[in-house]
Structures are given as structure tokens and as C-alpha cells.
């Protein structure tokens, strides 16, 4: 069974980087959302195992999108990916239920390990 | 203004190595009260909000932007849309790293970033008369990249 990953990020460059990092057969990029609102909609439709979530996006940012996804599914596994990595922001993300945080630029191996960790921990 | 030159240098050097696999040689340019750029053709502008307002400018040539984008995406051919997106993301990531380091040094600064903008064209001049700047150049195998970090001057 494949681990279904939903990418929520407005940057095609990041879509490529994540897709490249998760090119192993055990992962399936089941959807790509270009803003937080699309992310909520695609989460409902696709029921992914893991979500990678950017913070700064048009229409709806990653924090609000995560809140809405977690309201729909409190067990949602969300990895926040952001260029910003200061403690205040990480605490804010954790306080709404985001489980893991990865600062950009991330190495492919880091992303793979983080996706695997969040998936296994449930 | 606090001197953030070393912190900016560390951020750009480590991010270019991680993203593009290039080892950048950093040179510091003289700090100026007024910052005027005669642009080299491809500029990324990132606004800073929070306790102190400012901006970060990345200035390079179109050729260097093209070459860096190829290296970052690990592709031999990249179109203009991908170059713009890649350079925006590079600007956003380096700026995010710089701001994170400042926020971790000064807990109350709460700096955030505005979405990046790209300016392209010949004979562009950018002037920021109300900021004090740290300016450096990162010389990479893909070409040089000038980075200017400016915050509004205090009263």
C-alpha cells in the first residue's frame, strides 16, 4: 500500500522538489493544491495519509488551512514546510495541531524521513 | 542598525549550497546610508514586516538566474516561468532563513516576510532612501548574486 501525500504549496518549484524527493514507489503524490483553500477541498476529496503544507500562500495561508483540515479530521498528519523557522511560528503551528515542522530548504532525505515518521506515528 | 552582515552571509552561503550545490564566495560591500542599485537585469524583492520594516533585494543577471534555476531544479532546460518561480523561492527561502536568525536573536522582533516580487529589465535603478543596508555579493560558478538587506532607519 502506498503512502498518499497531498502537497499544498503555491510554488511549482516546491511541487517538483517534493515529487522528486518522494519518487520512491511507496509514495504517491495524490494531489497538489496551490493555496490553503484548495488544500482543504482536496483533503476532503482525496483523504491523503500525509499533507505537506506551506505557510505563506494566496487565498488562504497554511495555518488557517491546517486548522480547517484538523477540524475535519483531527488525526490529519500535517508537515509544515516553511522558509521561516523561528520558535514562535513553530509553537503557533504546534498549538493548532500540526505535528511536524520542516524548514526550507529541506534535503530530500530529511523530507523522506519526516514523511515516514509522521505516517508511522499516526 | 544592528550589524547582520555575518548572519546574512551564513544564510546565503548555506542555502545556495543546499539548493543549487554551489559554493559561494562572499564579499562584503561597504555599508551605505542610502542604497541605490543599478540592476543587472533580474531582481527579487522581498518585503519585511513586523516590529521593524525593511526589504531584502537579490540582484543578478538573467543568465545567472537561468543557470542557478537549472542547477536548483537539476534540469538542463528551464523556461522563464520556472526561472521566475525558482528565483522567487530562492529569495523567499534565503530571506526566511535570515529573518528566522534575526527573530531567534531578538525574540520580540516578530519579523515576517511579504511574498516576493520579481523585476526584470535593462537599465533599472532601485533606490531605497530611508533604509540602512547590509550589502554583499555571493560569487558562484553560476555567476554573481548581490544581496542587500535593509531596515528603516531609527529616529
- Residues of chain A contacting B96 with CB distance shorter than 8 Å: 82-85, 103-104
pLDDT value at position A99? 87
Tens of pLDDT, residues B82-99: 999 999 999 999 999 999
Contact A104 B96 (CB under 8 A): yes
| Range A3-121 has CATH code 3.30.1330.60 | no
pLDDT value at position B1? 46
The residue-averaged pLDDT of B87-112 equals: 92
List of E strands, chain B: 25-29, 35-38, 42-49, 54-60, 112-113, 117-120, 125-128, 131-140, 143-152
B17 in reach of chain A (CB within 8 A): no
pLDDT of residue B146 exceeding 90, the answer is yes
pLDDT value at position A46? 97
The share of chain B scoring above pLDDT 90, in percent, equals 66
Interface size, chain A vs chain B, as Cβ–Cβ contacts under 8 Å: 59
Give the one of A11, A82, A87 whose C-beta lies nearest to B96's C-beta.
A82
Give the one of A13, A58, A84 whose C-beta lies nearest to B99's C-beta.
A84
ipTM: 0.84
Give the one of A56, A103, A104 whose C-beta lies nearest to B115's C-beta.
A56
The residue-averaged pLDDT of A2-21 equals: 94
3-state class percentages of chain A: helix first, strand second, coil last, to nearest 5: 45, 20, 35
Radius of gyration of chain A (CA): 13
pTM: 0.89
B96 in reach of chain A (CB within 8 A): yes
CATH numbers and ranges of domains, chain B = 5-53+61-126+135-152 (3.40.1550.10)
d(CA A95, CA A105): 23
Amino acid at each position: 500500500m502506498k503512502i498518499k501525500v497531498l502537497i499544498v504549496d503555491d510554488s511549482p518549484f516546491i511541487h517538483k522538489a517534493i515529487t522528486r524527493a518522494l519518487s520512491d514507489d511507496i509514495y504517491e503524490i495524490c494531489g497538489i493544491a496551490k493555496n490553503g483553500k484548495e488544500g482543504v477541498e482536496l483533503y476532503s476529496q482525496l483523504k491523503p495519509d500525509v499533507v505537506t503544507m506551506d505557510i505563506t500562500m494566496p487565498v488562504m495561508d497554511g495555518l488557517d488551512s491546517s486548522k480547517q483540515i484538523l477540524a475535519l479530521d483531527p488525526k490529519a498528519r500535517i508537515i509544515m514546510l516553511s522558509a521561516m523557522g523561528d520558535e514562535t511560528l513553530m509553537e503557533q503551528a504546534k498549538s493548532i495541531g500540526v505535528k511536524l515542522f520542516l524548514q526550507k530548504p529541506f534535503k530530500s532525505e530529511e523530507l523522506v524521513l519526516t514523511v515516514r515518521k509522521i505516517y508511522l506515528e499516526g | 542598525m544592528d550589524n547582520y552582515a555575518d548572519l546574512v552571509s551564513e544564510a546565503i552561503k548555506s542555502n545556495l549550497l543546499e539548493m543549487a550545490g554551489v559554493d559561494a564566495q562572499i564579499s562584503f560591500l561597504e555599508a551605505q546610508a542610502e542604497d541605490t542599485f543599478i540592476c543587472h537585469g533580474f531582481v527579487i524583492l522581498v518585503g519585511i514586516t513586523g516590529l521593524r520594516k525593511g526589504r531584502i533585494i537579490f540582484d543578478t543577471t538573467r543568465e545567472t538566474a537561468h543557470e542557478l534555476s537549472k542547477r536548483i531544479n537539476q534540469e538542463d532546460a528551464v523556461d522563464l516561468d520556472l526561472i521566475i518561480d525558482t528565483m522567487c523561492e530562492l529569495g523567499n527561502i534565503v530571506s526566511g532563513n535570515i529573518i528566522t536568525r534575526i527573530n531567534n536573536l531578538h525574540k520580540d522582533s516578530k519579523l515576517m516576510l511579504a511574498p516576493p516580487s520579481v523585476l526584470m529589465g535593462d537599465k533599472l535603478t532601485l533606490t531605497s532612501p530611508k533604509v540602512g543596508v547590509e550589502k554583499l555579493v555571493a560569487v558562484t560558478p553560476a555567476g554573481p548574486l548581490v544581496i542587500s538587506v535593509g531596515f528603516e532607519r531609527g529616529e
